[in-house]
Amino acid sequence: MAAGTQARPSARSLSWRQFKAILRKDIVMELRTKEMVTSMGLYSLLTMVVYQIALSQSGSAFDPRQIAAGLLWLAFLFTSMLGLNRSLVHEQDQGCLEALLLAPVDRPVIFFAKAIGNLVFLLIVEVLTIPVFAFLFLQGGGYGGAWWMIPTVLTAGSIGIAGVGTLLATMSVNTNGKDFVLTVLMVPLMYPLLLAAVSATTAAVLGGDGSVDQFWAGMGGVAGYDVIMLLAAYALYEFVIGA
Amino acid sequence: MKQLKVAIVLLVVGGLLTTAAFFMAFYTAEVQRFGTITVAEQLDTVIPLESVTADGFQYGRPWFSQKIFYFHVPVAEASFLVFGVAAFFAIRFLMTKKREYDTKSRMAMETSLIFVILTMITGMLWTRASWGIWWEWEPRLTTYFIMTLLMIAYFVLRNSIEDEERRATYGAVFAIIAVIDAPISFFITRLIPSSHPVVFQSGMASSNLVPFIVAQVGMLMVGYAIYTMRMGEEILSERVEAVKEALED
């Protein structure tokens, strides 16, 4: 069997190579320009400054850990919209999307490659943001849950954001009000995911009795959302990219 | 214009039915029980149940907040149903790429948005009377609000695209994704604890059920009439556009 696949690449390994090629293109472009991570990272840092203003009157008795998860996911949502928009605007401006469509590549391959690329950048920014956030707002608060909780919910939530976001950004770059349209489409669609992710993340941050149950309940919501919405996005991407 | 005649007849009949249901709700329907709480227990205490005027005349309090049930619920269920119709036509459009399905989908979405706005207004009046607040971030209200935002987003998306085919495709794709929220909003009161009443869990007395069904049928007729009239208008305006273009050439 191994010899057969080496001699003539099967359809699956061809798709796999196409997937890798598109993903590598995005990553190489990012490594050369460092545009996405810089702009997204800076944006999320600025969000922290705005949070400081929002919390400035809360007083010393207020425990920021109660709302830390909400603030974090908010920053990730807005940062991801910035990144998604840029990622697809690049494709559009330089005619890359058209070239991809001309090439004999399956449409779902394009979707998954773009989504994974966006997921990677989003995760990098998240990993950079969390220590900064903890340093600025959570000093001395302590972390309640098990160590693996935050990475788990972060990955699952980001998969949903990147997957649905890639579909929506592909639509919004072809409209007149690019980033505005993306915001209008994305925020309501993201609502269930963010609600579940914030619930799970809060359980992880605070810890204590019942936090594991709450974490898994939230994770169930995130996972359900990911499955349903990614299937829908996967099925509909072909129509979007072809229009 | 046979369709327009049907639409006008349906509008009149639907209007009569909903009006009839309105009167039945006040004159024949009993007090509705929501789950384990009667309406009397749920009502705020601003106006006591039995009031006595200064000259000793005793009168029963009109059940205003509860009677809105015969308008609010039919409108809400119609909004879910018509939203589903819009998504169905969106799927048909993606399958066939026929423009008529796109128009149908958009018209259904418009009709549904009218119902959604009516539901929101009547719902807020009811929560004010029954819970003492205009708004609460409660599962049903929240998911329904999200659904409203998704519908508005659908029109924002459409209006920002000039190319006709692309507008139709994107609109259809977004309608299909957005409709996922409708069953969530519909079933959420049955799945997680919510202060929004669940109506058909404990059954209803026939004096309640009859006006409700009359109102529901009437509301669907009104909805179909609005949809058909808008479709007729749209077809006419498309024809006008075609004539204009022909004259310019």
> Residue B56: its pLDDT value, please?
58
3-class DSSP string for chain A: CHHHHHHCCCHHHHHHHHHHHHHHHHHHHHHHHCHHHHHHHHHHHHHHHHHHHHHCCCCCCCCCHHHHHHHHHHHHHHHHHHHHHHHHHHHHHCCHHHHHHHCCCCHHHHHHHHHHHHHHHHHHHHHHHHHHHHHHHCCCCCCCCCCCHHHHHHHHHHHHHHHHHHHHHHHHCCCCCHHHHHHHHHHHHHHHHHHHHHHHHHHHHHCCCCHHHHHHHHHHHHHHHHHHHHHHHHHHHHHHHHC
> For the segment A201-221, what is each residue's pLDDT rounded down to a tens digit?
999 888 888 888 999 999 999
| Percentage of the residues of chain B whose pLDDT score is greater than 90 | 36
Q: Is residue B106 part of a domain?
A: yes
Q: Terminal CA-to-CA distance of chain A, rounded, Å?
A: 40
- pLDDT over 70 for what percent of chain A? 95
Q: Residue B48's pLDDT is what?
A: 46
Instruction: Write down the pLDDT at residue B71.
Output: 86
Mean pLDDT of chain B: 81
Residue B155 near chain A (CB below 8 Å):
no
Select the more confidently predicted residue: B209 or A112. A112
Q: What is the pLDDT of residue B179?
A: 93
Q: How far off is chain A from B10, nearest CA to CA, in Å? A: 35
pLDDT in tens, B196-210: 777 665 566 677 788
B162 touches chain A (CB under 8 A): yes
From B195's Cα to the closest Cα of chain A, the distance in A is 19
Measured at the alpha carbon of residue A104, what is the angle toward residues A102 and A110, in degrees to the nearest 5? 85
Question: Mean per-residue pLDDT for A32-52?
Answer: 91
Q: Does a structural domain hold residue B96?
A: yes
- Flag whether residue A141 sits within 8 Å of chain B, measured between CB atoms: no
Q: Which residues of chain B make contact with A242, given a CB cutoff of 8 A?
A: 169
Residue B91 touches partner A, C-beta closer than 8 Å: no
Q: What is the pLDDT of residue B201?
A: 56
Of A171, A188, A191, the CB nearest to B170: A171
In a domain, B25, yes or no: no
pLDDT of residue B199: 65
- At B47 the pLDDT is 44
B83 interface with A at CB cutoff 8 Å: no
Out of A174, A236, A243, whose CB is closest to B177? Answer: A236
CB B119 within 8 A of CB B130: no
Question: Domain residues for B193?
Answer: 67-206
Question: If we measure between CA atoms, which residue out of B240, B220, B239 comes closest to residue B228?
Answer: B220
Contacts of A218 in chain B (CB under 8 A): none
pLDDT digits (tens, 9 = 90+) for A133-185: 988 888 777 777 788 889 999 999 999 999 999 999 999 988 888 889 999 99
Among positive and negative, which fits the CA dihedral A91, A94, A98, A104? negative
Q: Is the pLDDT assigned to residue A4 strictly greater than 50?
A: no
* Number of separate domains in chain B: 1
On whether residue B154 sits in a domain, the answer given is: yes
Lowest mean pLDDT among A74-78, A109-113, B123-127, B167-171: B123-127
Contacting residues of A for B94, CB less than 8 Å apart:
236, 239
Question: B197 lies in a domain?
Answer: yes
CA nearest neighbour of B185 among B149, B147, B135: B147
Nearest to A232 among B149, B177, B184 (CB): B177
B151 in a structural domain: yes
Beta bridge partners of B50: B60
Which tokens sit at B220? 């669907």
Query: Sorting pLDDT into bands at 50, 70 and 90, what band is A9?
Result: low
B24 neighbors B213 (Cβ within 8 angstroms):
no
Contact at 8 Å (CB) between B106 and B158? Answer: yes
- Residue B39 falls inside a structural domain: no
Q: Is residue B53 part of a domain?
A: no
Q: Which residue of B has its CA nearest to A172?
A: B157
pLDDT at A5 over 50: no
User: Are B166 and A233 an interchain contact pair (Cβ–Cβ within 8 Å)?
Assistant: no
pLDDT of residue B121 exceeding 60, the answer is yes
Contact B139, B189 (CB under 8 A): yes
Contacts of B149 in chain A (CB under 8 A): 187-188
For B56-106, write each residue's pLDDT tens digit. 555 444 445 667 778 888 899 999 999 999 999 999 999 999 988 999 999
Q: Whose CA is closest to A164, among A234, A89, A105, A74?
A: A234
Asked whether the beta carbons of residue A171 and residue B157 sit closer than 8 angstroms, the reply is yes
Most confident among B46-50, B132-136, B206-210, B241-245 (mean pLDDT): B241-245
B225, containing H or E segment: helix B206-248
pLDDT digits (tens, 9 = 90+) for B33-48: 444 444 444 443 334 4
Q: What is the mean pLDDT of residues B237-244?
A: 90
Beta bridge partners of B34: B37
* Best residue of B170, B180, B181 to probe chain A, by most A CBs closer than 10 Å: B170
B81 closest CA partner among B182, B12, B153, B151: B182
B61: which residues sit within 8 A by CB, 6+ positions away?
B47, B48, B49, B50, B51
B50 and A CB contact within 8 Å = no
Q: What average pLDDT does range A26-54 have in this prediction?
A: 90
Interface mutation target, options A180, A193, A239, chain B, most CBs of B under 10 Å? A239
pTM of the predicted protein model: 0.85
Task: Give backbone dihedrals phi and psi of B135, rounded to 5 degrees, phi first.
Answer: -145, 145
Neighbouring residues of B79: CB distance < 8 A, sequence distance ≥ 6: B112, B115, B116, B118, B119
A236 neighbourhood in chain B, CB within 8 Å: 94, 173, 176-177
Residue A174, pLDDT score: 87
